[in-house]
Structure 1
Amino acid sequence: MMQLSLNNPRHLSDYDLRLLKVFQAVVEHGGFSAAEPHLGITKSTISIHISNLEQRMGFKLCQRGRSGFTLTHEGQSVYHAALGLFESVQDFSMLVNSLGSELSGELVIWCSEQLDQEKQLKFVEVVKQIHRKHPALHIELDTMSIDQIEKGLLQGKVHVGIFPAYHKIDGLDYLPIHKEQVFLCCDKKHPFFNQTDHQISDEDFANAETIHPGIDITGEGKAQLERFNLKAKSYQFFMRKILIKSGEYLGFMPQGHIQKELNDGTIRLIKPNSINYHFTLSLVVNKSPRESKKQTIAMETILASFKDDEQ
């Protein structure tokens, strides 16, 4: 038995670690039954594992029964200690992988935007270059919300984030990689579509239902938004375009995301020379990364791909 004692400490075995993993899953899913699908074992087997862990620990970890699942004080302490233990093991694995001659494991790049065709082609080149130079890396390229990306970067779970950095967080570095203008536009079903720019007055704009971008933006952009009747909200450009295409709202879009509609005449820009603001996409990284080699590889490759973009 592994009973813990300050006078007679015991080393954790592989079996103890497996039991702690089961315990972690039970806590995070809120009970034995809820943890069954995640663990792939039955409730009765989970109960046996937890009982074995309690026996090896020498104290009760949780109360379970008709009243529900609750942790004891000792169970809470063990759960938080287990989280720290597993995080340390992950840190160790990352360090060992980074010291090897060939990089392996995950390389995680998260973007807050669905990329337009031009940026998609740039990231195609990024993925190709990284994979050819480091074939053992498992590349994860996905879209997430800005707060999820920031959290992932700070926790060391994400190597590089790509998002508009209108505010900055301590511990992260921000490198602008792409700058473009965002224009006011409407769909052909909107009343403004068949009017000339000169026919649309400031009063018309003040009454026109318009989409808020859903995040804090530059002072330049805020000044533009103050002119409109903000009645909808959408951060992701591809979702914002759906609102615009309903014909019920005006909205601000980068030209690259609506070029097809501009070409076929189903969306038009409104006063593009005066109603616009700049959108800047940044490459964001942790100032003190867990895996500096992976971060550097991703940074250098992305920066090289975007080097010709306006800064």
Structure 2
Amino acid sequence: MLNRLQESDIKLLRVFFAVASCNGFTAAEPVLRMQRPNISAAIKKLEERLDLILCHRGRGGFQMTKEGEVVFQETKRIFNAFDNFVFNLKSLHDDYSGHLTIVLMSGLPLNVMTAVSKSVKTSMHKFEDIHFNVQTRLYNEVEHAALSGECHLVVSCYDMVKPESIVFHPLPYKCEGRLYCTKSHPLAKYRDQIPTSVELYDHPAIGITGMSPSNYIGNERRLSIETFSDSFESCLSAILTGEYMGLLPDYFVEGKTYAEELIPLGGDEFAFSHDLFVMNGKNTRMNPVLKHFIRELEYFVTQ
């Protein structure tokens, strides 16, 4: 069992990380520039070091175990932190090259995703030898991502009390939404207003982990949260069963094939508006590359 990480372990973890990212030994060969027998031997040695089975390989194809999934996620965090350390070290010498990691909250609207892509492109054109790693996290994970040092910037909504350990750069964009249910739901007839005589606790709702308005909204009329989702996507799935009502951004509904099945409830009383931010931990060195990316994002998100 591994008690202390050694240099040789880092090399083995890089092999495993490549195999897991490529979803197979053969696909990882050109990435690692290693032949399959050597890759297999490295994975076996790592499994012996960790005293864990990380993956199954055979006729059924490559498949990670539950333990392998955990090791893969932790390895990703380690290597992101390594990349960030090297980048920040270079910045001290005015060398702005290397890898930048940007974390996006899952479920952002298409125009925000497009703005991120354009900002990445212009930043890569302005600064030579800059590479971007763009990843996604669930809403309840973005604060940790900003603080942990595993990324440089986070693009996310944030409606909770803002910790002093995080710097918030507001973007000129709001994620607006409201309470939704299906046509078959008992409250579907109350588009404009839900009468005060209607007891909301009689109607189950689904909340979103970490998002404060998932528990209540409007004139302190609390929803009856009976289950939680971890994203707008899973919240939508629960609402479409017809058993729950829940909060969704309008961009999750407008123009979608399932829009005809959904009804907005309660008018403005049950509407919400979340500000969008670029976030970073106070220990993040805000060099010219990061500043440029934020300025570009502020511009493109309004286009």
TM-score (norm 2): 0.65
Q: Separation in 1 of the partners of 2:80 and 2:272?
A: 43
> Does structure 2 conserve the Cα–Cα contact (< 8 Å) formed by 1:188 and 1:266?
yes
Measured after TM superposition, the shift of residue 190 of structure 1 is 2.0
Q: Separation in 1 of the partners of 2:269 and 2:101?
A: 39
Measured after TM superposition, the shift of residue 233 of structure 1 is 1.4
Q: 1:282-309: per-residue Cα shift (whole Å, max 9, x none)? A: 2111223246233223222222223x49
Amino acid at match of 1:129: T
1:133 and 2:129 correspond: no
Aligned mate of 2:271, from 271, 276, 287: 276
- The worse-fitting range, judged by mean Cα deviation, of 130-139 and 106-115 is 130-139
**1:104 counterpart residue number:** 97
Q: 1:155-182: per-residue Cα shift (whole Å, max 9, x none)? A: 4331111223212223210122222432
Amino acid at match of 1:185: Y
Measured after TM superposition, the shift of residue 137 of structure 1 is 2.0
1:41 and 2:41 correspond: yes
**2:164 counterpart residue number:** 170
Q: 1:46-80: per-residue Cα shift (whole Å, max 9, x none)? A: 799x9xxxxxxxxxxx9x9xxxxxxxxxxxxxxxx
**1:114 counterpart residue number:** 107
- The worse-fitting range, judged by mean Cα deviation, of 98-107 and 169-178 is 98-107
Question: Would the alpha carbon gap of residues 120 and 90 (structure 1) be closer, same or farther in structure 2, given more than 3 Å must change?
Answer: closer
Q: Separation in 2 of the partners of 1:202 and 1:103?
A: 62
TM-score (norm 1): 0.63
**1:257 counterpart residue number:** 252
> Does structure 2 conserve the Cα–Cα contact (< 8 Å) formed by 1:289 and 1:295?
no
> Does structure 1 conserve the Cα–Cα contact (< 8 Å) formed by 2:216 and 2:222?
no
Question: Would the alpha carbon gap of residues 195 and 295 (structure 1) be closer, same or farther in structure 2, given more than 3 Å must change?
Answer: closer
> Does structure 1 conserve the Cα–Cα contact (< 8 Å) formed by 2:105 and 2:139?
yes
Question: Would the alpha carbon gap of residues 104 and 247 (structure 1) be closer, same or farther in structure 2, given more than 3 Å must change?
Answer: same
**1:239 counterpart residue number:** 234
RMSD: 4.1
Q: Separation in 2 of the partners of 1:267 and 1:164?
A: 24
Question: Would the alpha carbon gap of residues 42 and 193 (structure 1) be closer, same or farther in structure 2, given more than 3 Å must change?
Answer: same
Q: How does 1:1-311 map to 2 (within 5 A)?
A: 18-19=7-8, 21=10, 40-41=40-41, 93-98=86-91, 103-134=96-127, 136-146=129-139, 148-165=141-158, 166-177=160-171, 178-194=173-189, 197=192, 202-217=197-212, 222=217, 226-261=221-256, 264-290=259-285, 292-306=287-301, 308=302
Amino acid at match of 1:114: G
Residues matched between the structures, number:
248
Q: How many percent of aligned residue pairs carry the same amino acid? A: 17
Q: 1:133-152: per-residue Cα shift (whole Å, max 9, x none)? A: 23522212221135543333
Q: Separation in 2 of the partners of 1:106 and 1:269?
A: 43
Q: Separation in 2 of the partners of 1:197 and 1:151?
A: 38
Unmatched runs of 5 consecutive residues or more in structure 1: 1-15, 26-36, 51-61, 65-85
- The worse-fitting range, judged by mean Cα deviation, of 187-196 and 203-212 is 187-196
Question: Would the alpha carbon gap of residues 263 and 135 (structure 1) be closer, same or farther in structure 2, given more than 3 Å must change?
Answer: farther
Name the structure with the higher strand share.
2
